[in-house]
Amino acid sequence: MQRIISRSRLLSRGLDSHSRRCFSQLLSQRADGDVNIPKMPPFDYTPPPYEGPSSAEILQKRREFLSPSMFYFYNNPLHVIDGKQQYLFDENGRRYLDAFGGIATVCCGHCHPDVVEAILNQTKRLQHSTIVYLHHAIAEFAEALASTLPGDLKVVFFTNSGTEANELAMMIARLYTGSHDMISLRNAYHGNAAGTMGATAQSNWKFNVVQSGVHHAMNPDPYRGIFGSDGEKYAKDVQDLIDYGTCGQVAGFIAEAIQGVGGILELAPGYLPAVYDSTRNVGGLCIADEIQSGFARTGSHFWGFEAHGVVPDIVTMAKGIGNGLPIGAVVTTPEIAQVLTQRSYFNTFGGNPVCTAGGLAVLRVLEKEKLQENACTVGSYLKKRLKSLQEKHENEDEKKGGARRSPLMLASGACQAPLVLAC
Ligand SMILES: Cc1ncc(COP(=O)(O)O)c(C=O)c1O
pLDDT tens column, 55-90: 999 999 999 999 999 999 999 999 999 999 999 999
* Cα diameter, the chain: 68
Distance (Å, rounded) from C-alpha 94 to C-alpha 79? Answer: 10
**Distance from the alpha carbon of residue 125 to the mean position of ligand 1, in angstroms:** 31
pLDDT tens-digit series, residues 381-420: 998 998 888 888 877 666 666 555 554 554 433 333 334 4
CA 123, 126, 130 angle in degrees (round to 5)?
115
Average pLDDT, the chain: 89
Question: What would the mean pLDDT of 225-241 be, rounded to a whole number?
Answer: 98
Taking the CA of residue 261 as reference, the ligand 1 atom at the shortest distance is 16
Looking only at the bridges linking them, the beta strands covering 252-256 and 285-289 are parallel
**Distance from the alpha carbon of residue 315 to the mean position of ligand 1, in angstroms:** 13
- Single out the residue of 283, 311, 301 nearest to residue 182, CA to CA: 283
Q: How far is CA 408 from CA 109, 227, 379, 404, in A?
A: 23, 20, 12, 12
pTM above 0.75, yes or no: yes
320: Cβ below 6 Å to ligand 1? no
CA 408, 383, 20 angle in degrees (round to 5)?
95
pLDDT at 22: 57
For residue 285, which phi and psi values (nearest 5 degrees)? -105, 150
User: Residues 91, 49: contact at Cβ < 8 Å?
Assistant: no
Residue 421: pLDDT band (50, 70, 90) is: very low
pLDDT at 14: 34
Ligand 1 atom 7: the closest Cα is on which residue?
162
173 HSE (CA, 13 A, CB side): 35
Distance (Å, rounded) from C-alpha 168 to C-alpha 314? Answer: 10
Query: Which of 314, 319, 321, 347 has the most ligand 1 atoms within 8 A of CB, as the residue to mutate?
Result: 319
In three-state secondary structure terms, 265 is strand
